Amino acid sequence: MIALDPAANRPQFINVRVKRQDGPGQEPYWQLFKIDYEPELNVISILQRIAALGQTSDGKKVPPVVWDCGCLEEVCGSCTMQINGRVRQSCSALVDQLLKDNADEIVLEPMSKFPVLRDLLVDRRRLFKALEKVKAWVPVDSYYNMGPGERQLRAAQEQNYPLSQCMSCGCCVDACPQYNKIELERKKDETDEEFRKREEKAWDTAFVGPHAISQAMLFNNHPTGKSIAGERLDALIAPGGIQACGNAQNCVAVCPKEIPLTTSIARAGRATTIHTIKKWFEK
């Protein structure tokens, strides 16, 4: 094998192509940016440099690209976008790795399943609303001091902890063929409240998504959380529930936290079947 001098291989510039959109419902367009190469950059630092630069590769002054980010260490779930066609966190998208796969350019696009607010910023309220639908919480009586929770075996903690690392980034739903984009337009005579209600109704009957199914399984496996297990399973039987899953298994492939989403879905499938039969007998 011929050893290559890594320094000689370094490009002088990085070409970054960004899909931009000025607001909801407007036509998207592309812009190309040229950034000086530095080692150990990630997509966040690229976008920071674009903001500081304020111009495209042909010198046209443009407003900074709008995007969402937070912790920059892949625990907050903010910075999800499509990078070279793959949905992922932009903080952990390392430029040197991306250039190995495609030395010509880095392509940044917003997530595909959520309405674009502007550029790479999308409206992900539906993700969080799904957590409400499956009652993803422990229904404690109060926040007073009532002593410790129930003792739990290490095996139970080790089953629950990976599921509890879900940061609602939305990668799983963006890659899911059964999860469709819902983008409603506000009617002229509609109040904020009415529009919100109509949105929530649309979300409620569409696919809830792998992340929410997995959270339902997490709380159904908790000693106190289990007390409303039936209500969670009811939610998963309702329209937009587990039956919408087409078993494409894209979710588990793109999850940045490697959460066993398909295992959760399989568990939910069994649990809802038993729950349905039980309910049928109880009629």
Partner 1 sequence: MSNQRVVVVGGGLAGLASAMKLAELGVAVDLISLTPVKRSHSVCAQGGINSCNDQTRQLGDNEWKHFDDTVYGGDFLNHQPPVKEMAYWAPKVIELMDRLGVPFNRTGEGFLDRRRFGGTLYKRTAFAGATTGQQLLYALDEQVRRRESEGLIRKFEFWDFLGPIQDETGRCRGVVAQDMVSMEIRAFPADAAVVATGGCGLVYGRSTMSVFCTGSAASRCFQAGAKYANGEFIQVHPTAIPGSDKLRLMSESARGEGGRVWVPRKPHDSRAPRDIPASDRYYFLEERYPEYGNLVPRDIATREIFDICVNDGLSVDSERMCVYLDLTHIPKAELDRKLGGILEIYEKFQGVDPRIEPMRIFPAVHYSMGGLWADYVKSADGGLEAGAPANHMTNIEGLYAIGECDYHYHGANRLGANSLLSCIFTGLFTGPSIVNYIDNQSGGHADIDPATLSGAVSKQQERHDSLLTGNPGSDENPYLIHQELGDIMTRAATVVRRNDQLTDAIEKVNELHDRAMKVNLSDTGSWSNQNVIFAKSLQDMFPIAKSILGGALRRDECRGAHFKPDFEKPSLTAEDPAERRKQAEEWCDAFEKNNDKYLKSTIADYDNASMQPQFSYEDVDTSLQPPRPRLYGLVGADIIEEVWKERAEAKKQQPQMASS
The footprint of partner 1 (CB under 8 A) covers 22-23, 38, 40-42, 44-45, 48, 51-52, 54, 61-64, 66, 68-78, 91-92, 94, 117-118, 121, 124, 128, 131-132, 135-140, 142-143, 145-149, 151-154, 156-158, 160-161, 164-165, 167-168, 219, 222, 224-225
Minimum Å gap between C-beta 137 and partner 1 is 4
Comparison of 61 and 283: residue with beta carbon closer to partner 1: 61
Minimum Å gap between C-beta 53 and partner 1 is 9
Tokens of 155: 């095996």
Minimum Å gap between C-beta 281 and partner 1 is 30
The DSSP 8-state label assigned to residue 189 in this structure reads T
What is the C-alpha to C-alpha distance for residues 9 and 185, in angstroms, rounded to an integer? 49
Comparison of 177 and 223: residue with beta carbon closer to partner 1: 223
Minimum Å gap between C-beta 149 and partner 1 is 4
Comparison of 72 and 253: residue with beta carbon closer to partner 1: 72
Written in H, E and C, the secondary structure of 91-132 is CCCEHHHHHHHCCCCEEEECCCCCCEEECCEECCHHHHHHHH
> Mind giving me the DSSP string for 4-58?
P-HHHH--SEEEEEEEE-SSTTSPPEEEEEEEE--TT-BHHHHHHHHHHH-B-TT
Minimum Å gap between C-beta 159 and partner 1 is 9
Comparison of 69 and 107: residue with beta carbon closer to partner 1: 69
Minimum Å gap between C-beta 84 and partner 1 is 17
Distances (CA, A) of 269 to 46, 57, 100: 42, 51, 40
Comparison of 66 and 237: residue with beta carbon closer to partner 1: 66
Comparison of 243 and 267: residue with beta carbon closer to partner 1: 267
CB atoms within 10 A of CB 168: 19
- Rounded to the nearest 10 degrees, what angle do helices 192-205 and 125-133 cross at? 60
Comparison of 198 and 226: residue with beta carbon closer to partner 1: 226
| CB neighbour burial string for 59-81, b if at least 16 within 10 angstroms, e if fewer | eeeeeebbbbbeebebebbbbbb
Minimum Å gap between C-beta 279 and partner 1 is 23
The continuous run of DSSP H or E covering 86 comes out as strand 86-89
